[in-house]
Chain A
Amino acid sequence: MATSKKKKTVRKTAGETSAATAAPRRRARSAATVDPAERARVDAETVASIESLAGSIVEQSLGHIDPSFDVPTRSKSNVHFDAKARVLRMGDAAQQRLLFNLGQAKKFMQTVLVADGCRDLVRAGKTLSLRGMYYKSLHTIAGTKEKTFDGQDESDAVLEDLEVTLDALRENLHVFAKKRGTMVGNITVFDNGDEIDCRRMGTGGYAIPSICEPSVIQFGKCDAKFVLHVEKDTVWSRFNEDRFWEKHNCILTEGSGQPPRGVRRLLHRLNTELGLPVYCLLDCDPWGHYIYSVIKQGSINLAYESGRMAIPDARYLGIRADDYVRCELSDDVKIELDDRDRKRAREICEYPWFADRKHWQKEIKRMISNGFKMEVESLITKDISYVTETYVPERLAAKDWLD
């Protein structure tokens, strides 16, 4: 049933994009741009929710009630695994944030300040980076030497709180994160109206923006048949230099370790809107396994966004624990597992979304019994292009992956 649904989407998007590309460039641009009215509607909604938050605080204060608001809890305790959809979902638990509580007073103030800053942004129709947002709300509290924020960490956390509180995404609050992640491949995208041909990106690739919402990024012509996501840019460069995406007709992405929201959103959209399967090539260590888990099921911290980011049918291509034997790698590539790695591996093993996957249990246990981890680069010891010319094509041909 899932496949038929996906096919439908593919057909639909394919139809749209072909129409767009057939048209002259000028027209394509306008066609790709999102409806300004739609954007205005979202912005108005955001502003309204900020105003209602502030309004409730004022109302409570004037009514001599302890001012408070509810912040949905963003911790593992409030995250559950939706076994049917195979994504993480946030529960209903919420924490009251009180002004008159020693531990929360400062956060309360910070949330109000950030809300005020976001409202300014939305009304001005501009966007700011997370760091920019930190500076916007940063000042010394009148009559003291204390600053409103001790560091960007604090404002980032408060912003995430605000997202869940207002039920508005960071994108809707007009805040974005630092760009991370790169893409290249058989696809054309429209980024804020500019047509970008990802086949002609040189050695650098297309930097995936932090906001990959349909209002900013639209897909153009796409011939690729799948997406290969690799862990970091060093490996990505290897694949790009060998023109892997050309030979195998795919899209090649990279997320600089744990992929940021933009990359995950883009992968999700490539998967759902264009129906491209996503394969991941990650290190054989707990860190790599968790990256896969985040791509597939979503992260605990951003569980409220899982629906827009998780790719339940993403596949794990490698590196596998038995590659050391299978590829006849030398002893030099072994990196010993330390106690922290073992502890993390066991934790991952127990996540409900891994617990019912026998082959994953086997894989992690194999890694622990091996006693070492391996990076994707370890394949370079075989041959410089072993990973692009032999390893990945063989795995794909043999349909040898973990799901």
Chain B
Amino acid sequence: MASRQREISVSEFFAKNRHLLGFDNPRKALLTTVKEAVDNALDACEEAGILPDITVELLQLAETRFKVTIRDNGPGIVRKQIENIFGKLLYGSKFHRMKMSRGQQGIGISAAGMYGLMTTGQPVLIISKTGRRKPAHEVVLKMDTARNKAEVISETEHPEDDTLFADGHGTQVTIELEGRYQKGRASVDEYLEQTAIANPHASFTYITPTNETLEFPRAVDELPPEATEIKPHPKGIELGTLIQMLERTEKTQLGAFFKDEFCRVGPRVAKDICGKADLTDRTWVKQVGHAEAERLFKAIQDVRIMAPPTDCLVPIGTKAMLAGLLKEVKAEFFAASSRPAAVYRGNPFQIEVGIAYGGQLAGDDLARVIRFANRVPLLYQQSACCSFKAVVETAWRNYGLQQARSALPTGPLVVMIHMASTWVPFTSESKEAIADYDEIRKEMRLALQECGRKLGTYLRRRQRMRRESERRHVFARYIGEIAMACERITGTDAARVKTALEEIAATKTAEADQQLDDEGRVIDDGGRLAHDADVIILDGSGHGPGASDAGGGTDDAADGTLFGGGDGSKPRRGAARKKTRRKTTKKTGRGGSR
């Protein structure tokens, strides 16, 4: 028996349990591969202060075999790190730090390579260039799952005039894998579309398996500020972590240990903690055994410690969120709200919500919830996600929408929820749903309510406007008939009667307008909405839906668009003209009406 016992490598474990990483089935495997590569590319670009330009190409080799190529304009990877980054599981720069980033564990891209190798036997091809004067390295890598190491099969150095990277630097990964391409929910298309919403500073080029080129242009020319790294907050760690930190620290005394290894701990707090654990801040760290550590851990829970700093979070920001929604969702009303940062279990986090309503969105479906964690779209396990529950428990009926009991609201609505955090609590390694913490759910609900109130104001206003214009039209329509009939009966000139009646009608409707003004509140709300920076209304007059779509929307009413691909847009576009999606007209067309 003992002879059969041997160590299991991490890679082997994940190779057998690939569903934990999001490779459950061919369809999801394709998506996860693209997702991991794009997440890495975006992180790399942002850290290097480069506006990301990312190209995703899916080449279909056979029914279930794809060659996935992702190219970015990031800083490139130095030659000796290539094996580690792409060939080793759990290797990364992001795991050990408290900093907001897309990737966390360092599993993603190497797992994708491993999956490709397992299903097709083909190695991973990486081309990377770190600067104009530097050569591009082309490396073919094969994973050795037993040893969690990469094996270089071949490597070539390319001359400087590499045409792949226009900026002179970047990385391209090609993975061949077994997959399945399908449009619709949880597809690569949807992922890229949502990524484009949450990352309006990035531009994407997507070449689909059917060889169409879709462009997702940049909407904001400003990189989000770089997230700062923070030390762990005492309240956010567990006993085991505390013991580990005590073992690893270079500090010799407890007081210094707490001050230096944690955030928000000053001399007084350190003293308090130690005191409560019957120790002093001068106690030698080496003398702290298991029992003492446990006392320290309890003490931490009892001591009042300031919440962790929140400036380490980089929210998308309402402006950028609106820009992202505006370019990808064909709606008429947009609102966004950003909550102040809050804390769960010692981890700072911040919730942002954006909503898009009306326009070409399908009106009789349930609302769509698009979820993001640190700007990464979450496409699976919607109903297990905290954000989904927050949307369901919000009383949308108060804001003029229909909502069945414990269901999403019904109507032409897209709800976007973003959680930014140094550590997003996912329910599993494949990062599909946010765990349901009360603090998180509460923040989400508050943000949703803020957007909901704005939507309610808008809808009420729109309804009132419609009634008003109806009133005006009704009178105008009938006056002519009455004047003519009166002329036939009495012989009085119809034109004279008509003019007189129109004059009365004008004063009548003016009176009605006046009344609404005098009542004040409702009209005032409309005025506030118009000046709200977090709200965009296309076709501000609100005269019936569709008016705005005819103008700005026709050219770019995207075909395969997951949002707003509703009934309106489809018949209008011929198959011939949908090869390339142009969105350039939008900025001028839509921005002007703010």
Contact = CB atoms under 8 A, between A and B. Distances in A.
Interface of A: 50-51, 54-55, 57-58, 61-62, 64-67, 99-100, 102, 105-106, 108-109, 112-113, 115-116, 119, 141-144, 146, 148
B474 A141 contact: no
B560 interface: no
28 contacts: A54-B485, A55-B489, A55-B490, A57-B482, A61-B486, A61-B501, A61-B504, A62-B496, A64-B500, A64-B503, A65-B504, A66-B504, A66-B508, A67-B504, A99-B475, A99-B478, A99-B479, A102-B474, A105-B478, A106-B474, A106-B478, A109-B481, A109-B485, A113-B485, A115-B489, A142-B481, A143-B477, A143-B480
B503 A116 contact: no
B471 A102 contact: yes
B19 interface: no
B489 A51 contact: yes
B488 interface: yes
B486 A58 contact: yes
Contacts of B227: none
A115 B485 contact: yes
Interface of B: 470-471, 474-475, 477-482, 485-486, 488-490, 492, 496-497, 500-501, 503-505, 508
Contacts of B508: 66, 100
B492 A146 contact: no
A52 to B, nearest CB: 9
B477 A112 contact: no
- Please give me the 6 A-B residue pairs with the lowest Cβ-Cβ distance, nearest first: A54-B489, A109-B478, A116-B485, A61-B500, A112-B485, A58-B492
A57 B482 CA distance: 9
Contact of B475 (A64, A100, A115, A143): A100
Contacts of A144: 477
- Which of A62, A66, A108 neighbours the largest number of chain B CB atoms within 10 Å of its CB? A62
B486 A141 contact: no
Given A102-B471, A112-B485, A141 B497 contact: no
Nearest to B508: A100
B489 A99 contact: no
A112 B481 contact: yes
Contact of A112 (B486, B492, B504): B486
Given A106-B478, A112-B482, A100 B504 contact: yes
B497 A142 contact: no
B480 A141 contact: yes
Given A106-B478, A146-B477, 11 more contacts: A57-B486, A58-B497, A62-B500, A99-B478, A109-B478, A109-B481, A112-B482, A115-B485, A115-B489, A141-B481, A143-B477
A55 B486 CA distance: 8
Contact of B504 (A64, A102, A116): A64
Contacts of A146: 477
Contact of A113 (B477, B481, B503): B481
Contacts of A99: 475, 478-479, 482, 501
A102 B478 CA distance: 11
Contact of A100 (B477, B486, B505): B505
Contacts of A50: 489
Given A67-B501, A100-B475, A146-B477, A109 B496 contact: no
A129 to B, nearest CB: 21
A65 B489 CA distance: 20
A296 B492 CA distance: 46
Nearest to B471: A102
B403 to A, nearest CB: 30
Contacts of A106: 474, 478
A148 B490 contact: no
A58 B485 contact: no
A172 to B, nearest CB: 17
Dominant secondary structure at the A interface: helix
Contacts of B497: 58, 61-62
B488 A116 contact: yes
B486 A54 contact: yes
Contacts of A66: 504, 508
A64 B486 CA distance: 16
A142 B485 contact: no
A51 B490 contact: yes
A61 B495 CA distance: 12
B574 to A, nearest CB: 29
A269 to B, nearest CB: 33
B506 to A, nearest CB: 11
B195 to A, nearest CB: 46
Contacts of A116: 485, 488-489
Nearest to A53: B489
Contacts of B486: 54, 57-58, 61, 112
A142 B489 contact: no
A61 B489 CA distance: 15
Residue of B479, B482, B488 with highest tally of chain A CB at under 10 A: B482
Nearest to B509: A100
A143 B496 CA distance: 19
Nearest to A137: B485
A66 B328 CA distance: 51
B490 A58 contact: yes
B478 A108 contact: yes
A143 B480 CA distance: 10
Contacts of B474: 102, 105-106
A141 B477 contact: yes
Nearest to A62: B500
A113 B503 CA distance: 22
B296 to A, nearest CB: 75
A58 B117 CA distance: 90
A99 B480 CA distance: 12
Nearest to B507: A64
B480 A142 contact: yes
Nearest to B474: A105
Contacts of B501: 61, 67, 99
A51 B504 CA distance: 23
B508 to A, nearest CB: 5
Contacts of A100: 475, 504-505, 508
Q: Which of A64, A100, A108 has the most CB of B within 10 A?
A: A100
A63 to B, nearest CB: 8
Contacts of B500: 61-62, 64
B93 to A, nearest CB: 67
Contacts of A58: 486, 490, 492, 497
A141 B485 CA distance: 12
A53 to B, nearest CB: 8
B490 to A, nearest CB: 5
A54 B491 CA distance: 10
B471 to A, nearest CB: 6
Contacts of A54: 485-486, 489-490
Nearest to B501: A61
Contacts of A51: 489-490
A106 B473 CA distance: 12
B463 to A, nearest CB: 15
Among A64, A112, A119, A148, max chain B CB count under 10 A is at A112
Contacts of B496: 62
From A55, A58, A113, residue with most partner B Cβ within 10 Å: A58
Q: Could you say which of A65, A66, A102, A105 has the most chain B C-beta atoms within 10 Å of its C-beta? A: A105
Contacts of A143: 477, 480
Contacts of B480: 141-143
A148 B481 contact: yes
Contacts of A55: 489-490
Contacts of A113: 481, 485
A109 B488 CA distance: 14
Contacts of A57: 482, 486
A58 B482 CA distance: 10
Contacts of B505: 100
A380 B480 CA distance: 60
A64 B482 CA distance: 15
A109 B482 contact: yes
A263 to B, nearest CB: 33
B473 to A, nearest CB: 9
